């Protein structure tokens, strides 16, 4: 029997919710990690772990909970999708709180690297793919998004670095994914921000008005199909 497992962070809503549905429907056993849970039920959704991924000091506890649900020996393929992310406060650096800077970095950067480390160690000889959900903000500055830009850029470079570190490991691949602008709560938050805090707000309001935001289900399906393509580990894939 070929058992495939997907561990998806931020599976309660937005893109993560669509990823959970997509991987369940494609026959993966799925574990979702987020603070709240959705009402989605599926025989392949084997666990929903309620956990605040910015609480880095409790990651040993998270690891224990995660592996209570996983029997490593029977799994032939594991996909980790580091999807949970936040813009943090949309404010200039000088107006932001140190607490918010810290929690944003922990959720967007420390947590994906820590989870990748856990999975790499636990699944040494199992086909493993890590997808780090990135953003166009990894590549260019957005006024008011210093933490978001920094963490997404940092994660993309860490992705390249880990790919080099694991070059000799033929069972491991890692990618950044730039998904485009998706119709989720994150976009609602952007449109509700103040123009003085976020200079590009009009563009995002316009995109919504013109119905140009991507549907999360369509983005999730595109991400799913990446496993059938041949990409060099470490690269950023723009959907």
Q: Which sequence positions are flagged as catalytic?
A: 148
Task: Give least dist CB 156 to ligand NAP, A.
Answer: 12
- Which residue's CB is nearer to ligand NAP, number 78 or number 181? 181
Task: Give least dist CB 204 to ligand NAP, A.
Answer: 9
Task: Give least dist CB 93 to ligand NAP, A.
Answer: 19
DSSP string, 59-77: HHHHHHHHHHS--GGGEEE
Beta bridge partners of 130: 80, 174
- Which residue's CB is nearer to ligand NAP, number 110 or number 126? 110
Closest residue to ligand NAP in the complex (CB): 14
What residue ranges bind ligand NAP (CB under 6 A)? 10, 12-16, 34-36, 52-54, 83-86, 107, 133, 135, 179, 181-182, 184-187
- Which residue's CB is nearer to ligand NAP, number 60 or number 168? 60
């Amino acid at each position: 029997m070929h058992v495939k497992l997907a561990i998806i962070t931020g599976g309660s809503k937005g893109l993560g919710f669509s990823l959970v549905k997509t991987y369940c429907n494609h026959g993966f056993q799925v574990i979702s990690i987020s603070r709240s849970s959705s009402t989605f039920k599926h025989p392949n959704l084997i666990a929903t772990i309620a956990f605040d991924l910015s609480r880095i000091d409790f990651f040993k506890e998270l690891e224990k909970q995660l592996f209570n649900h996983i029997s490593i020996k029977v799994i032939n393929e594991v996909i980790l999708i580091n999807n949970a992310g936040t813009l943090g406060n949309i404010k200039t650096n000088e107006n932001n709180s140190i607490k918010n800077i810290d929690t944003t970095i922990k959720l967007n950067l420390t947590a994906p690297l820590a989870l990748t480390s856990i999975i790499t160690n636990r699944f040494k000889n199992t086909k493993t793919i890590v997808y780090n959900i990135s953003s166009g903000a990894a590549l260019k500055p957005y006024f008011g998004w210093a933490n978001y830009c920094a963490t997404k850029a940092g994660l993309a470079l860490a992705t390249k670095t880990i790919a080099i570190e694991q070059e000799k490991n033929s069972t491991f691949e890692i990618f950044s994914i730039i998904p485009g602008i998706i119709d989720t709560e994150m976009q609602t938050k952007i449109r509700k921000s103040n123009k003085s805090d976020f200079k590009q707000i009009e563009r995002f309001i316009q995109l919504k008005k013109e119905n140009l935001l991507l549907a999360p289900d369509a983005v999730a399906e595109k991400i799913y199909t990446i496993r059938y393509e041949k990409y060099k580990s470490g690269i950023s894939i723009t959907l």
